[in-house]
Amino acid sequence: MESLLDDLDYIAKVDKENMLGAISRFPSDARMTINQIRNLNVPDYFERGFNSLLVIGMGGSAIGGLLLKDWLRGDCNIPIDVSRSYHIPKWVNQKSLVFAVSYSGNTEETLSQLEEAIELGCEIVAFCSGGEIREIAEKNGIPIVLFPEGYKPRAAIASQFYSLAGITHKIGLISDVKWIDVQESIKVVEKHLVTYDKETPIKDNQAKKLAEEIKGYTPFIYGNKLFKTVAYRFCTQFNENSKSPAATNFFPEAFHNSVLASEGIDEILNTICCIFLTDPMEVNPIKNKVKNFRKILNGRFGKIIDVRARGRGELARIMSTINLGDFVSAYLGILYGKDPSEMESIVRLKRESKI
């Protein structure tokens, strides 16, 4: 099939800031980050033990924390939560470890929460590329993990996640056995990168094919509990890179509400593309119930697409699907003639909201 996505001149014209290139750097960013964390000195008192871990961040800077929470949901001895707000939760105390994450270092909600965490006496690690958060951290003796500059926050996903995971492992909240998943996750992403590359023609390029399939539809993304944040990431990447509306839900929650959308009117349902993030390692009863959920939706919506996770370990399945979705969203934006890196509406919202 002929596609604009095989026209490299067209891609270069639309993808002005090379979002595709940033997405392609996932494995190298991940490895660089792991080496950076390995050489980072963490205060000895961090090994005293914590009763909770809170990640504070917004937008693309919150994704790493959400993924960490999903990945460690059954393996970490303390609760992990992500706060996307102006204020830290009331349960946070001096025995809470706080990760303050802001790619720019200037996110107002994160700055507000960071000040509260400092006032409360929490142990904190700051993650940023600079900005006010770096200044506050240096002033207060807070350990800092610096992200590489020149990325959009959403494109720095490898630096964000692997730095959070690296610190969590370094202080003993991730076991060495669990940490083995990390290397596999990078290798699986790297293995499939060439097939998503802009120079790979659409006939051999799953990411380009999916973008063409989704074009013209509003995507609704579904995943299991492990893929809750992956589905959310697909949704927000369609928003940001494709400039497209999108929605998401996860199983088993979707069994109790989203299934009723199949009873809607054809005029609306025909415009929706349902994307199922399928996990080959999923077990019954969820697997059978998802199959029946899909059967009910089939024929009612404009299109149904399956995206199968790759890899054996949980983190490999998470990250391989994330990386594919990032490429798909960028290619979809390019098909629509939209620069995936453009953030005009966010800039406008911030400008018009200044007091």
Q: What is the pLDDT of residues 257-268, one digit of tens each?
A: 999 999 999 999
Q: Are 103 and 153 a contacting pair, CB within 8 Å?
A: yes
Q: What is the CATH number of domain 19-174?
A: 3.40.50.10490
Average pLDDT over residues 28-39: 95
What pLDDT sits at residue 43? 74
Q: Which CATH class is domain 4-15+187-335?
A: alpha beta
Query: Which member of 139, 256, 295, 354 is catalytic?
Result: 256
Strand 144-146 with 80-83, pairing: unpaired
User: If you ran DSSP here, which 8-state letter would residue 148 be given?
Assistant: P
Domain extent listing, the chain: 4-15+187-335, 19-174
What pLDDT sits at residue 48? 65
| Rounded distance between C-alpha atoms, residue 290 and residue 278, angstroms | 9
Same fold for the domain at 4-15+187-335 and the one at 19-174? yes
Average pLDDT over residues 189-194: 96
Where residue 355 falls among pLDDT bands split at 50, 70, 90?
Answer: low
| Rounded distance between C-alpha atoms, residue 106 and residue 86, angstroms | 13
Q: What is the mean pLDDT of the chain?
A: 95
What pLDDT sits at residue 286? 85
Q: In the annotation, is 192 catalytic?
A: no
Angle between helix 108-120 and helix 131-140 axes, rounded to 10 deg? 10
Query: Which member of 13, 87, 203, 350 is catalytic?
Result: 350
Average pLDDT over residues 298-322: 97
Q: What is the pTM of this model?
A: 0.95
Beta bridge pairs of residue 127 = 101, 145
Query: Which member of 123, 240, 282, 314 is catalytic?
Result: 240
Average pLDDT over residues 37-43: 84
